[in-house]
Structure 1
Amino acid sequence: MTTSTALLLADLAGVAVFAASGASAAVAKRLDLFGVVFVGFVASLGGGIVRDLVIDEVPPLAFADWRYAGTAAVTAAAIFWLHPQFARLRTTVLVLDAAGLGLFTVAGTLKALDAQVPAVGACLIGMITAIGGGLVRDLLTGEIPVVLRREIYAVASLLGSMVVVLLNSLGHTGPLPLTVAAGLVFGVRLVALRRRWSAPVATLRPPRTGMSGPPPE
Structure 2
Amino acid sequence: MFKIYMVDRSNRFAYEEFLDDYFRIRHDIYVGERGWFDLARSDGREIDAFDTRDAIYLLGICPLRGVVAGSRFLPSLKPHLMNDIFPQLAENGVPRGEDIFEWTRIFVVPALRSPGKPSGAAGIVYCGIVEFCLEREIRQLSVVCEPYWLERLEVLGWKPLQLGKSLLHKDGEIIGLLLHMSDEALSITRNAYGITQSVLSSSRP
Query: TM-score when scaled to structure 2?
Result: 0.31
Which protein has the bigger helix share? Answer: 1
Which structure is larger by alpha-carbon Rg, 1 or 2? 1
